């Protein structure tokens, strides 16, 4: 199976997917750590894909999304963005709105805590 096929399958079979450097429990770059930290804190159930473990997936996800950097977040098959976009969406409440619209379970109180801590 090609990297593109594997990526399509992962995104189709999981509501939330984070392509990152490292894992959700042990991120290996600051940007991946920030996005995983947000998702972990908000209690989002997601598949973490360590792009450092597979060079084909690492390049394949960049080609798939036409986005040059890692991490990359997908929600219900939709590419959301990288660290800066996810951070901005979290702070503005747009990530909550996306999760609500897509039926993704998360802890709203924790999302509010993130915003309060960064106000």
Residue 19 pLDDT greater than 90, yes or no: yes
Q: What is the pTM of this model?
A: 0.96
**Res 102: pLDDT:** 97
The DSSP string of 15-71 is SEEEEESB-SSSBSSHHHHHHHHHHHHTT---EEEEGGG-HHHHHHHHHHHT--SS-
Tally Cβ neighbours within 10 Å of residue 68.
Answer: 9
CB of 88 within 8 A of CB of 1? no
Taking only the tens place, the pLDDT of each residue in 86-111 is 999 999 999 999 999 999 999 999 99
In this prediction, residue 31 has a pLDDT band, given cuts at 50, 70 and 90, of very high
**Rounded distance, CA 119 to CA 96, Å?**
17
- The class that CATH gives domain 3-117 is alpha beta
For the chain, the domains span: 3-117
Residues 41-57 have a mean pLDDT of: 97
Q: Are strands 47-50 and 16-20 parallel, antiparallel or unpaired?
A: parallel
**Res 23: pLDDT:** 97
Taking only the tens place, the pLDDT of each residue in 79-90 is 999 999 999 999
């Amino acid at each position: 199976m090609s990297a593109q096929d594997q990526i399509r399958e992962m995104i189709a079979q999981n509501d939330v997917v984070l392509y990152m450097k490292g894992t959700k429990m042990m991120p290996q770059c600051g940007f991946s750590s920030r996005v995983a930290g947000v998702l972990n804190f908000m209690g989002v159930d997601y598949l973490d894909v360590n792009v450092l473990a597979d060079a084909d997936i690492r390049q394949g996800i960049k080609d798939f999304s036409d986005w040059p950097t890692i991490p990359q977040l997908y929600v219900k098959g939709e590419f959301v963005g990288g660290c800066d976009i996810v951070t901005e969406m979290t702070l503005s409440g747009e990530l909550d709105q996306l999760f609500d619209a897509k039926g993704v379970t998360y802890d709203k109180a924790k999302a509010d805590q993130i915003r309060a801590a960064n106000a």
